[in-house]
Amino acid sequence: MDLAPRSLGSSTVAVGPLGLGCWPLAGMTRDGVTREAAVATVRAAIDSGVTHLDTAYCYGEHGESERAIREALPGRRREDVVIAGKCGIHWEPDQAKDPPRRQVVDGRPERIRMQVDETLDRLGTDRLDLLYLHAPDPTVPIEESAGELKRLLEAGKARAIGLSNASAANLSRFATACPLVACQMQFNMLQREIEAEVLPWCLAHGVAMVVYWPLMKGLLAGRMRRGQTFPTSDSRHKYPIFNGPEFDRNLDFVDALRPVAARLGCELPDLVLAWTAEQPGITSVLFGATSPEQVWENAAALRCELDAEARQAIHAAIRARGPVAGRQPI
């Protein structure tokens, strides 16, 4: 893998090819992720050379992910990590849901301002290296949300600005109101919708592409079993990719990748992450993890080298599987 730091557009911020996605550390994706495990996972990432840490205001009902990063930082130099945060989504109680909460997208300037101040407080830092609008708010003109992010950039509370979960049209409008250097979208071997419009737009405008779900929420790490079911406390139970014939087809795909990883002498998640990182236009790949062991295993992708035979076999497996229908909920 090419380990050279990659600049985010015209900003002074640079990231490595891999980043740690800190969403699972909030303890909301499944039971059993303790605060101790969360802090140890962040430390393991930094110590493994994965210094791009991706979090968000809504990762945890009370900022648990941001707090875990804060706890992991003592003893490490602040300037040695890139902390990427996101604003514009929060949780509200909703007794009609299980668990009793719902996600609210709110891109009003006053909400953004308030969230960023709270985020900086939780992280114990005076600036985010990268601040994304988590998703466009359909009830607020995107230029208004972007204008607030520009003010935060000018105030020094963020060193660079990004936009997540956006269309090419959203990106264009956002960029008229705020310098935009990064875009964060879903992308993995089987979910490649960004290749149609968003990625070409980013390439044409010098905007870095940071991608999430490279492991398809753990599926492509290769540890799931046929017939496995997920409890309702595990958010994966609701995704079509983990249910019925779709799940079986996905596990067939994983089985087709195993001999490719074995021939190269690497673990399956490393093959998957290395392939994802080398796709044209991809700047940084965010993998989630819930333990230091997963981080150590995934960070070994930094040393995984694909060859032409591996690329061909992966391409054939992707073609045989076909695209996964429909965009998954964020």
- Residue ranges that bind ligand NAP, judged by CB under 6 A: 21-24, 29-30, 54, 134, 164-165, 184, 212-218, 221, 223, 269, 286-290, 294, 297-298, 330
DSSP code of 327?
P
- CA 43 – CA 68 distance, rounded (Å): 10
Which residue number, 83 or 152, has a Cβ lying nearer to ligand NAP? 83
10 or 233: CB nearest ligand NAP = 233
Q: How far is the CB of 308 from ligand NAP (least distance, A)?
A: 26
Q: Which is nearer to ligand NAP, 250 or 294 (CB)?
A: 294
Distance CA 236, CA 30 (A): 8
* Residue 232 vs residues 3, 160, 215, 239, 240: alpha-carbon distances, Å: 39, 38, 21, 11, 14
* Residue 144: how many other CB atoms lie within 10 Å: 14
Task: Using the structure block, give the residue that is written with the tokens 């648990």.
Answer: 64
User: Is the CB of 201 or the CB of 213 nearer to ligand NAP?
Assistant: 213
Q: Which two tokens stand for residue 137?
A: 């708010």
Nearer to ligand NAP, 22 or 152 (CB): 22
Q: Which residue has 């430390």 as its token pair?
A: 43
Structure-token match 């875990």, residue found: 68
CB 316 within 8 A of CB 278: no
Residue 285: closest CA among 276, 294, 293: 276
d(CA 257, CA 316): 10
Q: How many other CB atoms are found less than 10 A from the CB of residue 121?
A: 12
Catalytically active residues, by annotation = 59
Minimum distance from residue 166 beta carbon to ligand NAP (Å): 10
Instruction: CB nearer to ligand NAP: give 54 or 148.
Output: 54
Of 295 and 308, which CB lies nearer to ligand NAP in the complex structure? 295
Least separation in angstroms between CB 170 and ligand NAP = 13
Nearest approach, Cβ of residue 175 and ligand NAP (Å): 18
What does the alpha-carbon distance between residue 286 and residue 214 come to, in Å, rounded to a whole number?
7
Q: How far apart are CA 55 and CA 288, in angstroms?
A: 11
Q: Are 88 and 134 in contact (CB under 8 A)?
A: yes
The candidate with the shortest Cα–Cα distance to 54, out of 73, 81, 30, 76, is: 81
Rounded least distance, CB 103 to ligand NAP, Å:
10
Non-local (6+) Cβ contacts of 148 within 8 A are 109, 112, 113
- Considering only CA atoms, which of 263, 272, 259, 256 is closest in space to residue 319? 256
Q: Tell me the closest approach of the beta carbon of residue 16 to ligand NAP, in angstroms.
A: 15
**Min. distance of Cβ 283 from ligand NAP in angstroms?**
14
